[in-house]
């Protein structure tokens, strides 16, 4: 069969139905899994990152662990590879690395599209939506009403809930939706709900344009406003989206601080979308922070709308972001699906030079995909080059010190990704202007992207991990102290890694197995 026929038949088998209709028959995950053998081999298809089988995806939603599985819901438009009427797509995993696709979980209805939100396990059945002793999984999301929006009022974004009694396989919307109406804020969305142990009630974080609003509820249905944060704090280059708030222990101490994540678009440090964080305190009602500077979870151009899991088995704080940027997300050169998630990352908090810093680092289970490969370096002008046939599914890892360094990945077509460490300025720079296909949108490569590394150690060496998939690179400095995530579209796989550092111990190179 030709590739096109394969695609057409897979589209027919998947049989997605969109908009305000429920599907006539919910396709089983087994059917979708079978299709993975046909899909997931396309040019640029991520081999070990999550991407939808087909069509458009944006934010991760409803991250929750329940009965042995990590759920990943996501903003999904099953009819096209650009943004459209939003549904919640769904996948599950036991290790956060191997994913099984599930049928679409939530469809738009008369109240609107299903925008971003979260999911919780209502263990004590506070909502009364459980039955037969089964705790419901409850999804809390924003309804965006596309008919009301153009009328110019402030009532088109409200919050709704849905519940599942079979661990996420099928969902019912709550009959009394919306549970939180609104006629005050034009932007009023992206509920993150979690159970607050101390006050034994649910908390909901919402963003309202330029600030965060916090609500509480005894039952996930009746919500009371508590407080707000941020009208005059942090970055405000664009609208605030996708909040999250959670406590973390400061490494090496008993101190606990609260971390608030806020995505903004535009206004990121390298243009377009990015996620900032605030470190502070939460007294069960109000979030406060002394932080004066603006902090970014990830300095790369392609990590947006990231939030963390509820209910993880060992309390780990695990983050997943959408690996794209609204500047060009709808124009990237893929045809079957569009965009992927970042690697799941464990968050940690450290205090360096009197400042709290949020670190993010690939989850431990990712290491199971890595297989070391023996590659001998060759001396070349200015450094050493390592030849390996597939740097598009590989990790390069080494220790280095804070000196001027240059690292490059390149291929026979003369395409290259350049990464520079500037020791004097304490900056990491990524230049993807010649990395492959870049012309689909001017904003993709018009500037060299920069990360500021104020507290990178200068007295001892630190680890660098560079993880490349078919259309992305993730760079983790010093165990996730500073991170850059970027999309890349080389016409052929990179086959060489160049480093300006001559060190026979360096680097370690790993092949990364595909997960599909």
Place of tokens 């909040």: 243
Among 27, 54, 59, 501, binds ligand FRU (CB under 6 A): 59
Pairing verdict, β 304-308 and 318-322 = antiparallel
Is 64 a binding residue for ligand FRU by CB under 6 A? The answer is no
- 76/246 with CB nearer ligand FRU: 76
Residue 11: HSE in the Cβ half-sphere, 13 Å Cα cutoff? 15
State the minimum distance, in angstroms, from the CB of residue 511 to ligand FRU: 33
| Tokens, residue 487 | 């999309």
- 105/402 with CB nearer ligand FRU: 105
Pairing verdict, β 416-422 and 137-144 = unpaired
Q: Any idea what DSSP says for residue 486?
A: E
C-alpha 214/C-alpha 451 separation (Å) is: 31
- 93/142 with CB nearer ligand FRU: 142
- 203/305 with CB nearer ligand FRU: 305
- 305/466 with CB nearer ligand FRU: 305
C-alpha 242/C-alpha 235 separation (Å) is: 14
Query: Which residues 202-241 are close enough to bind ligand FRU by CB under 6 A?
Result: 241
Among 18, 47, 116, 481, binds ligand FRU (CB under 6 A): 116
State the minimum distance, in angstroms, from the CB of residue 51 to ligand FRU: 16
| Rg (the chain; Cα; Å) | 23
Among 18, 51, 58, 93, binds ligand FRU (CB under 6 A): 58
The binding track of 420-459 with respect to ligand FRU, each residue x by CB under 6 A or -, is: ----------------------------------------
H or E element: which one contains 261? strand 256-265
* CA angle, 414 then 417 then 421, to 5°: 135
| 3-class SS of residue 444 | helix
Among 32, 72, 86, 385, binds ligand FRU (CB under 6 A): 86
Is 468 a binding residue for ligand FRU by CB under 6 A? The answer is no
C-alpha 385/C-alpha 19 separation (Å) is: 52
- 305/349 with CB nearer ligand FRU: 305
59 has catalytic annotation: yes
The binding track of 137-166 with respect to ligand FRU, each residue x by CB under 6 A or -, is: -----x------------------------
- 108/136 with CB nearer ligand FRU: 108
Residues making up the chain, counted from first to last:
516
Read off φ and ψ for residue 490, nearest 5 degrees: -65, 145
Q: How far apart are the first and last CA of the chain?
A: 21
Is 308 a binding residue for ligand FRU by CB under 6 A? The answer is no
- C-alpha 31: how far from chain center: 26
Is 190 a binding residue for ligand FRU by CB under 6 A? The answer is yes
Cβ(140)–Cβ(118) below 8 Å: yes
- 207/393 with CB nearer ligand FRU: 207
Among 48, 99, 107, 115, binds ligand FRU (CB under 6 A): 115
Among 10, 51, 75, 93, binds ligand FRU (CB under 6 A): 75
431 exposed, middle or buried (CB, 10 Å; 0-12, 13-18, 19+)? middle
Is 325 a binding residue for ligand FRU by CB under 6 A? The answer is no
Is 305 a binding residue for ligand FRU by CB under 6 A? The answer is yes
State the minimum distance, in angstroms, from the CB of residue 238 to ligand FRU: 10
State the minimum distance, in angstroms, from the CB of residue 278 to ligand FRU: 18
CB neighbour list of residue 298: distance below 8 Å, 6 or more residues apart: 274, 275, 306, 321, 342, 360, 483, 484, 485
C-alpha 451/C-alpha 444 separation (Å) is: 17
* Total interface residues for ligand FRU by CB under 6 A: 12
Is 189 a binding residue for ligand FRU by CB under 6 A? The answer is yes
Is the backbone of residue 62 left (phi > 0), alpha (psi -120 to 50) or beta?
Answer: left
List active site positions: 59
Q: Which residues bind ligand FRU (CB under 6 A)?
A: 58-59, 75, 86, 115-116, 142, 189-190, 241-242, 305
């Amino acid at each position: 069969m030709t590739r096109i026929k394969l695609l057409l038949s897979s589209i027919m088998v998947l049989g997605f139905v969109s908009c305000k209709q429920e599907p006539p028959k919910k396709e089983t995950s087994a059917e979708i899994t079978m299709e993975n053998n046909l899909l997931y081999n396309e040019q640029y298809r991520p081999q070990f990152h999550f991407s939808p089988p087909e069509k458009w995806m944006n934010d991760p939603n409803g991250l929750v662990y329940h009965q042995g599985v990590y759920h990943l819901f996501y903003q999904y438009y099953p009819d096209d590879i650009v943004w459209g009427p939003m549904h919640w797509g769904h996948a599950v995993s036991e290790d956060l690395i191997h994913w099984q696709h599930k049928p679409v979980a939530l469809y738009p209805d008369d109240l609107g599209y299903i925008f971003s939100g979260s999911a919780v396990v209502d263990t004590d059945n506070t909502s009364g939506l459980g039955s037969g002793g089964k705790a419901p999984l409850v999804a809390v999301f924003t309804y965006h009403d596309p008919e009301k929006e153009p009328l110019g009022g402030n009532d088109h974004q409200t919050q709704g809930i849905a519940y599942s009694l079979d661990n996420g396989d099928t969902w019912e919307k709550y009959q009394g939706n919306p549970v939180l109406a609104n006629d005050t804020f034009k932007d009023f969305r992206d509920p993150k709900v979690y159970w607050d142990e101390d006050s034994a009630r649910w908390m909901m974080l919402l963003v309202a344009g330029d600030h965060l609003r916090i609500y509480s509820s005894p039952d996930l249905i009746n919500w009371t406003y508590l407080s707000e944060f941020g009208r005059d704090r942090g970055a405000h280059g664009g609208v605030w989206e996708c909040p999250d708030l959670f406590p973390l222990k400061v490494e090496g101490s008993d101190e606990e601080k609260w971390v608030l994540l806020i995505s903004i678009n535009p206004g990121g440090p390298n243009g377009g979308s990015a996620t900032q964080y605030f470190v502070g305190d939460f007294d069960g009602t109000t979030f406060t922070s002394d932080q004066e500077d603006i902090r970014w979870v990830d300095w790369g151009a392609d990590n947006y709308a990231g939030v963390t899991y509820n209910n993880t088995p060992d309390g780990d704080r695990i983050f997943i972001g959408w690996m794209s940027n609204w500047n060009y997300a709808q124009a990237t050169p893929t045809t079957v699906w569009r965009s992927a998630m970042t690697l799941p990352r464990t968050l940690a908090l450290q205090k360096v030079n009197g400042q709290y810093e949020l670190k993010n680092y690939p989850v431990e289970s990712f290491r199971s995909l890595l297989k070391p490969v023996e590659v001998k370096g060759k001396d070349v002008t200015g450094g050493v080059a390592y030849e390996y046939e597939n740097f598009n599914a590989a990790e390069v890892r080494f220790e280095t010190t804070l000196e001027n360094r240059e690292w490059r990945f390149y291929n026979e077509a003369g395409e290259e990704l350049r990464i520079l460490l500037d020791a004097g300025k304490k900056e990491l720079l990524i230049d993807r202007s010649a990395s492959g296909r870049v012309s689909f949108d001017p904003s993709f490569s018009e500037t060299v992207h920069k990360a500021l590394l104020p507290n990178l150690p200068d007295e001892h060496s630190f680890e660098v991990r560079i993880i490349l998939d078919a259309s992305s690179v993730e760079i983790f400095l010093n165990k996730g102290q500073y991170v850059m995530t970027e999309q890349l579209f080389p016409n052929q796989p990179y086959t060489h890694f160049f480093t300006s550092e001559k060190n026979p111990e360096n680097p370690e190179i790993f092949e990364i197995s595909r997960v599909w």
